[in-house]
């Protein structure tokens, strides 16, 4: 039972990490292969700010804001030529540019901060949840993920800007005819994806540690969740995150972490073969 609870907690983190990626794809038809690096930048920035004397809560908030600014810089530079293209050309160029940027960010972080890692320690004894002893860090990470995802859902459903995002995702030309500027919406969502990646980094730091070399692994996990859940589907990312989180913890506990990654990749492959649109994709 404890393994299942850990899987749910980890699945919430995966869903939080993947939802920013799927929003970008659903809105702009691009894949950001530097998404994991947004999380790592948040982790390293928070660690550096704490080392220079800033309190942890303020350091985390500043680091998340930095992730949003990095996403804004991406949108204002790398994404401009991408958005001029359509279809497969847009996806391919976004893959090439963002993976190149990911390598640059990784190189800089590993060179300047090779040993920095975010680890948010919450002291105290374990908490009993339905007869299972849960670490305070896991509970805090789960609560953070639920709050972030719940806020995102409320934003998309009930705010004017959120409805504009949904309109552009469903029909960009129709939304433009209604007076919505797709370019501004894309920029806002790209920044939002960076912030969500930053929050996911904090959640990861509450349960383990996040360092300069973890960006690629986070991007791969986010891609797997996005593919299984359905590209462009926020609900699919959440469902797939929970399912794969449970699978990950169960297989790690009984088999091993290395084989677990292979199992997740097989899950993504089978999803593409059996249900190309994903569990809750548009074509489902």
Of the pLDDT bands very low, low, confident and very high (cuts 50, 70, 90), residue 149 is very high
Residue whose token pair is 């990095």: 70
What are the beta bridge partners of residue 133? 128
Among the listed residues 20, 21, 26, 19, the one whose alpha carbon sits nearest the alpha carbon of residue 168: 26
Residue 129 lies in a domain: yes
Among the listed residues 197, 194, 185, the one whose alpha carbon sits nearest the alpha carbon of residue 156: 185
Residue 134: burial class (beta carbons within 10 Å; 0-12, 13-18, 19+): middle
What mean pLDDT comes out for the span 140-156?
A: 93
pLDDT in tens, 24-79: 988 878 899 999 999 999 999 999 999 999 999 999 999 999 999 999 999 999 99
Residue 16 and residue 163: Cα distance in Å, rounded? 20
232 neighbors 19 (Cβ within 8 angstroms): no
Residue 146 lies in a domain: yes
44 neighbors 84 (Cβ within 8 angstroms): no
Of the pLDDT bands very low, low, confident and very high (cuts 50, 70, 90), residue 113 is very high
131-136 own/partner pairs: CB under 8 Å, 24+ apart: 131/1, 132/1, 132/2, 132/5, 133/2, 134/2, 134/5, 134/9, 135/207
pLDDT of res. 284: 42
Residue 26 and residue 24: Cα distance in Å, rounded? 6
Residue 232 lies in a domain: no
Residue whose token pair is 């590209």: 231
Residue 270 lies in a domain: no
Return the exposure string of 41-59: e unless at least 16 CB atoms fall within 10 Å of the residue's CB, then b.
bbbbbbbbbbeeebebeeb
Residue 272 lies in a domain: no
Confidence check: pLDDT of 283 > 60: no
Helix, coil or strand: residue 129: strand
Q: Find the DSSP H helices in the chain.
A: 2-28, 35-51, 56-76, 79-83, 87-112, 136-158, 160-170, 172-177, 182-207, 215-229, 234-254, 257-274
Report how many domains make up the chain: 1
Residue whose token pair is 């894309």: 186
Residue whose token pair is 């992730």: 67
Residue 114 lies in a domain: yes
210-211 and 127-129 as β-strands: parallel, antiparallel, unpaired? unpaired
pLDDT of res. 196: 96
Residue 107 lies in a domain: yes
pLDDT of res. 282: 62
pLDDT of res. 114: 92
Residue 258 lies in a domain: no
pLDDT in tens, 165-206: 888 887 777 878 788 888 899 999 999 999 999 999 999 999
69 neighbors 42 (Cβ within 8 angstroms): no
DSSP state of 211: E
pLDDT of res. 35: 96
pTM of the model: 0.92
What mean pLDDT comes out for the span 227-231?
A: 87
At residue 181, φ and ψ (nearest 5 deg) are -90, 105
Confidence check: pLDDT of 226 > 80: yes
Q: For residue 250, how many C-alpha atoms fall within 13 Å in the half-sphere facing its CB? A: 13
Q: Find the domain containing 31 and state its range.
A: 2-214
Residue 64 and residue 61: Cα distance in Å, rounded? 5
Instruction: For the chain, give the mean pLDDT.
Output: 89
pLDDT in tens, 241-281: 999 998 888 888 788 777 888 888 888 888 888 888 888 77
pLDDT of res. 1: 66
């Amino acid at each position: 039972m404890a393994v299942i609870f850990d899987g749910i907690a980890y699945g919430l983190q995966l869903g939080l990490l993947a939802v920013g990626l799927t929003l970008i794809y659903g809105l702009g038809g691009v894949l950001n292969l530097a998404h994991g690096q947004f999380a790592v930048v948040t982790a390293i920035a928070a660690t550096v700010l704490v080392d220079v004397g800033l309190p942890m809560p303020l350091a985390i908030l500043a680091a998340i804001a930095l992730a949003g600014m990095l996403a804004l810089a991406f949108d204002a530079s790398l994404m401009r030529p991408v958005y001029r293209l359509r279809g497969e050309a847009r996806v391919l160029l976004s893959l090439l540019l963002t993976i190149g940027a990911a390598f640059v960010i990784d190189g800089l972080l590993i060179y300047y901060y090779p040993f920095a890692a975010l680890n948010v320690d919450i002291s105290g004894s374990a908490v009993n949840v339905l007869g299972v002893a849960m670490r305070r860090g896991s509970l805090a990470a789960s609560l953070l993920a639920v709050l972030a995802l719940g806020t995102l859902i409320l934003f998309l459903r009930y705010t004017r800007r959120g409805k504009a995002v949904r309109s552009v995702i469903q029909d960009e030309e129709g939304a433009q005819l209604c007076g919505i500027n797709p370019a501004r919406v894309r920029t806002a969502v790209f920044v939002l994806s960076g912030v969500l990646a930053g929050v996911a980094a904090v959640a990861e730091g509450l349960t383990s540690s996040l360092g300069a070399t973890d960006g690629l692994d986070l991007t791969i996990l986010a891609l797997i969740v996005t593919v299984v859940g359905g590209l462009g589907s926020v609900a699919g990312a959440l469902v797939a995150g929970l399912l794969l989180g449970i699978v990950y913890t169960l297989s790690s506990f009984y088999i091993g972490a290395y084989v677990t990654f292979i199992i997740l990749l097989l899950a993504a492959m089978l999803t593409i073969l059996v249900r190309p649109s994903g569990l809750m994709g548009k074509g489902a």
